[in-house]
Amino acid sequence: MNPTTQTDLGTPASPLDETVKVEIDGLPVTVKAGTTVMRAARESGVDVPKLCASDNMKPFGSCRLCVVEIEGMNGYPASCTTVVEEGMKISTQTDELARLRRNVMELYISDHPLDCLTCSANGDCELQDMAGAVGLREVRYGYDGANHLDAALDTSNPYFTFDPSKCIVCSRCVRACDEVQGTFALTIEGRGFESKVSASINESFLDSECVSCGACVQACPTATLIENTIVDHGQPDHSVKTTCAYCGVGCSFRADMKGAQVVRMTPDKDGGANHGHSCVKGRFAWGYATHKERVLSPLIRENINDPWRMATWDEAINYTANRFKEIQKEHGVKSIGGITSARCTNEETFIVMKLVRAGFGNNNVDTCARVCHSPTGYGLKQTLGTSAGTQLFDSVMDADVIMVIGANPTEGHPVFASQMKRRLREGAKLIVLDPRKIDLVRSPHIKADYHLPLLPGTNVPMINALAHVIIKEGLLAEDYIKERCDLESFEAWKKQILKPENSPEMVSEISGVPADDIRNAAILYGSAERSAIYYGLGVSEHSQGSTMVMGMANLAMATGNIGKTGVGVNPLRGQNNVQGSCDMGSFPHELPGYRPVQDDEVRGSFEKKWGVTIDPEPGFRIPNMFDAAIAGQFKGMYIQGEDFAQSDPNTQHVEEALSSMDCVVVQDLFLTETTKFAHVFLPGTSFLEKDGTFTNAERRINRVRPVMKPKQGKAEWQITQDLAKAMGYPMNYKNEAEIMDEIAEMTPTFTGVSFKKLDEVGSVQWPCNEKAPMGTPIMHIGGFVRGKGLFKETDYVPTKERTSRKFPLLLTTGRILTQYNVGTQTRRTANMTWYPEDLLEIHPYDAEMRGIKDGELVALASRKGETALKARITERVQPGVVYTTFHDPATGANVVTTEYSDWATNCPEYKVTAVQVAPAVHRSKWQHKFEKRAKEQGKILETS
């Protein structure tokens, strides 16, 4: 067995609590009732042979290799489908069993190429292991009969190969796709000898419904489905446990290594967020970490129009520090600031935050959560008392009703989506609030009970209408409210919600959703035992993002859906460590743990620890920094791993701000759109080089462990520490663990966190402190963190962005599974195979009215700007609404988005822009842009 192979107990754990006593091969064994004989044996250290069973899917009972003898039972039952009973006496090894198992193996091997020594799976093949385990020495049937040895390879998927000549038709791949991933892309076609695995209806893997999650590859016990990296580099010899660097699900992985080289990323079965599953990004799209376009030397230039020149670390750090000091001397202490990165570790983020507050002497620190989930932080803090989601992901398995609002989990949070779909297949009801028909609305074995396709910008009236129905229908959790909530605020909220303008009929007119659907969805949510809300940027990125977050919290409190399993208000956070970057005090008004910088006691504790005076006034938010830069008051910025020039709205404004500054310093892996405006480039590290922690959307603090030394010679925290020293504020951390120790010392929700504990227990969810030494999977049990739950009134204030005759359509934006954020990482991987450019989704009616054909280049214009991209005509969007992603710098979708933002947090209103779409008649105008992109893509694919 390969040393990186994870334990497989054959069948899933029993959910029951009672135990039974059995005897296995003469030894007494106690296991949970409901456990299979196979699992009972394996738990007690007896490895019954198996081929078709695996502990992440239901028993199947097809290979008959796992037969056992049971006293008093006729025949030879399959241990994977037989459940233990009190007093059962089981034999796993007898001469007859050995004979039967050898017969089974003989049949498999007689139709299998005997190329073990040259096979890529040699040393990590269950068929090979089982042949050894059953003592197969000869095959009587010969290899000259009918066989499948000439079956053609399918190499269409860029990451794995399908070699049907090696298939034993065990169905593990099919069941992994169905049960683990929930895509149902595979079937077994034909019968008997003709049976074969087929992707969709006899298509190649690439052309099929397959989303390349790799679950089937992981499940395959032979080399039939195998990672191309294993074919190319050979089997791993050891693993390092770490965490995915893409989305906020925070999947745990084992980096399977051959010497110093990563040859495979395998999701870790012990991972608290993913339980051994992954998506295409985490499992396969890690090649960017060693991509040849990575810049490994510091770069400097006096002027953004000059060419870059390479510099030593000392030179670049001293240059930056001197420039920042000069700027502060000339323009004041507040004329510079820093941005922490949601892709960096908690430790790296904390130290940038400390550099700004202690080294720069101001609070001009912010993070990319400003442009995504800052309303979540604000809204949940106001109502519940904590700026984070309420549940652990596993809680969804107890939900009776799941309401998904402004999120597209199958694209944005795929591993959690697979878990959610599992619960939906078990019978939970589904309500989707989204302008588009996202996959969850209808996909194999899933159908939303209600899809409310509301117009962009009408979330708040919709949540008010849902609450209106719940009150009118008598579905309030009166006792819960009385016991746990602030009654004065409840009464005020109730009065507001009962206003006629919040009735389903009135809201139907604004939102375009039939009143009956609103009413029925509200009744479904309000009458279930356990209803859970999951939401995304379709909630927060609005001018009333914070209002909507509070509206959802109100609804959950009013129905008693907070403080137990299966319920809650749960943000699906975008970037891997966006929760952590917020937790670490990256907002200008808050120190770590969301404590106000104005609070003398809190500030005083940091002043004492850090030996400095901290400005009691909150600093600039990102948009304030940009405005101040244009006004000539803000002159220098240290940007850790963000690409504002592509990711932030109203690109023209961002570019003007960046080019108004005297010293822009970018710390990143690659040259980006933002580095076009930078004076200093400090090379950063990929997740494979980092040591530290990421915190996922369920507040889970996971370890990130390095598998290689920093390729550019310095850990990112060391870069920041060196810069602090050069600025005149020495920090003296010796390693990342020491930074976490300081975070724990200074942050009440982290006092129980240390690398040592995480290495021992795997992960913990904050708060993790004296009261909860092993963390807090579910918040607000028995009472809200703020004391009484506070209802906030949520009057609807329409956005200032309006459609007009010139701009009659509403543009909304979102994500696609294979790309990530601004594409810096995924564009440097073979993920480009699936979605190489942004597309504009437009309804057939709107397309026809404009003479637009599918695949044609169209111009997309708003009051702010104009770009061009190809049209995709689809009924996923409703008439009057168009949709695109923002992964491609060539499209630069944010050229058209506006400056409007959330009233409380300045989170930009990405989700509502009035636009016009027309065939791009002046094609030449866009031609240079697309030619450049084609060239860049050619380069990227060639080098990935």
Residue 852 class from Cβ within 10 Å (0-12 exposed, 13-18 middle, 19+ buried)?
Answer: buried
Instruction: Determine the 3-state secondary structure of 841 from DSSP.
Output: strand
CB atoms within 10 A of CB 126: 23
Q: Which stretch binds ligand SF4 (CB under 6 A): 183-191, 473-481, 702-710, 732-740?
A: 183-191
Interface pattern 138-167 for ligand SF4 (x via CB under 6 A): -----------------------------x
List all residues 6 or more positions away from 904 whose beta carbon is below 8 Å from its beta carbon: 375, 378, 379, 545, 546
| Binding piece for ligand FES, criterion CB under 6 A, among 51-59, 198-206, 487-495, 565-573 | 51-59
Question: What is the smallest separation between the CB atom of 181 and ligand SF4, expressed in angstroms?
Answer: 5
Encoded tokens for 867: 């770009």
CA 699, chain centre distance (Å): 13
Residue 54 or 418: which CB sits closer to ligand FES? 54
CB contact set of 303 (below 8 Å; sequence gap of 6+): 679
**63 contributes a contact to ligand SF4 by CB under 6 A:** no
Q: From the CB of 174, what's the least distance to ligand SF4, in Å? A: 7
Binding mask 358-397 for ligand SF4 (x = CB under 6 A): ----------------------------------------
825 binds ligand SF4 (CB under 6 A): no
185 touches ligand SF4 by CB under 6 A: yes
Q: Least distance in Å: CB of 412 to ligand SF4? A: 8
Pairing of strands 663-668, 636-640: parallel
Check: CB of residue 737 under 8 Å from CB of residue 706: no
Q: Which of residues 590-649 bind ligand SF4 (CB under 6 A)?
A: none
Report the partner that residue 65 touches, choosing among ligand SF4, ligand FES, none (CB closer than 5 to 8 A by kind): ligand FES
**Does an H or E element contain 242, and which?**
strand 238-243
Distances (CA, A) of 329 to 317, 322, 338, 624: 18, 10, 17, 21
Residue 51 interacts with, from ligand FES, ligand SF4, none (CB under 5-8 Å by kind)? ligand FES
Q: Cα–Cα distances in Å, from 3 out to 229, 256, 568, 782? A: 17, 10, 41, 45
Task: Tell me how many residues contact ligand FES (CB under 6 A).
Answer: 12
Applying the rule CB under 6 A, the residues between 70 and 109 that interact with ligand FES are 78, 80
- 131 contributes a contact to ligand FES by CB under 6 A: no
Q: In whole angstroms, how close is the CB of 72 to ligand SF4 at the nearest point?
A: 34
Distance (Å, whole) CA 643 – CA 676: 10
> x/- contact string, 242-281, with ligand FES (CB under 6 A)?
----------------------------------------
Nearest-CB residue for ligand SF4:
282
Residue 53 contact partner, candidates ligand FES, ligand SF4, none, CB within 5 to 8 A by sort of partner: ligand FES
Question: For residues 895 and 649, what is the distance between their CA atoms, to the nearest angstrom?
Answer: 7
Assess contact for 635 and 659: CB atoms under 8 A.
no
Residue 170 in the binding site for ligand SF4 (CB under 6 A) = yes
- How far is Cα 418 from Cα 182, in angstroms, rounded to an integer? 6
Tokens of 529: 């035992």
Q: Could you tell me the CA-to-CA distances from 780 to 564, 567, 580 in Å, in that order?
A: 8, 11, 20
711 binds ligand FES (CB under 6 A): no
- Of 82, 171, 496, 650, the one binding ligand SF4 (CB under 6 A) is 171
130 binds, among ligand FES, ligand SF4, none (CB under 5 to 8 A by kind): none
Alpha helices (runs of H) in 134-183, residue ranges in sequence order: 172-175
Closest separation in Å from C-beta 671 to ligand FES: 52
Q: Tell which residue, 284, 791, 851, 815, has the closest CA to residue 536.
A: 815
Question: Toward ligand SF4, which CB reaches closer, 159 or 677?
Answer: 159
Residue 354 within binding range of ligand FES, rule CB under 6 A:
no
The reply to whether omega before 616 is within 30° of 0 (cis) is no
The label of the residue with tokens 């959560």 reads: 369
Q: Which does 78 bind (CB under 5 to 8 A by kind): ligand SF4, ligand FES, none?
A: ligand FES
Query: Within 13 Å, how many C-alpha atoms sit on residue 127's CB side?
Result: 28
Which string of x and - marks every residue 403-442 that binds ligand SF4 (by CB under 6 A)?
----------xxx---------------------------
Interaction between residue 177 and ligand SF4 (CB under 6 A):
yes
Q: Does 295 bind ligand SF4 (CB under 6 A)?
A: no
Can residue 219 be called a binding residue for ligand SF4 (CB under 6 A)? yes
Q: List all residues 6 or more positions away from 443 whose beta carbon is below 8 Å from its beta carbon.
A: 410, 421
Query: Which of 4, 14, 56, 62 contacts ligand FES by CB under 6 A?
Result: 62
Piece in contact with ligand SF4 (CB under 6 A), picked from 244-252, 759-767, 821-829, 894-902: 244-252
Pick the closer one to ligand SF4 by CB: 183 or 464.
183
Is residue 169 a contact residue for ligand SF4 (CB under 6 A)? yes
Q: Which amino acid does the sequence have at 428?
A: A
Give the H or E element holding residue 293.
none
64 binds, among ligand SF4, ligand FES, none (CB under 5 to 8 A by kind): ligand FES
CB nearer ligand SF4, residue 256 or residue 486? 256
State which of residues 36, 56, 79, 222 lies at the interface with ligand SF4 (CB under 6 A): 222
List CB contacts of 916: < 8 A, sequence separation 6 or more: 806, 807, 808, 809, 860, 861, 862
d(CA 773, CA 829): 40
Q: Alpha-carbon distance 646 to 885, whole Å?
A: 12
Q: Positive or negative CA dihedral for 605, 606, 611, 617?
A: negative
Q: In the range 202-241, which residues lie near ligand FES by CB under 6 A? A: none
Dihedral sign for Cα atoms in the order 308, 313, 314, 320: positive
C-alpha distances out from residue 772 to 153, 426, 748, Å: 53, 32, 11
Strand partners, 27: 24
* Closer to ligand SF4 by Cβ: residue 415 or 810: 415
Element (H, E) at 770: none
- Is 175 one of the binding residues for ligand FES (CB under 6 A)? no
For ligand SF4, which residue of 40, 134, 176, 532 counts as binding (CB under 6 A)?
176
Complex with ligand SF4: residue 272 or 789, whichever CB lies closer: 272
Residue numbers at the binding site for ligand FES (CB under 6 A): 50-53, 61-66, 78, 80
Residue numbers at the binding site for ligand SF4 (CB under 6 A): 167-173, 176-177, 181, 183, 185-186, 197, 210-216, 219-222, 224-225, 244, 246-247, 249-251, 274, 278-279, 281-282, 413-415
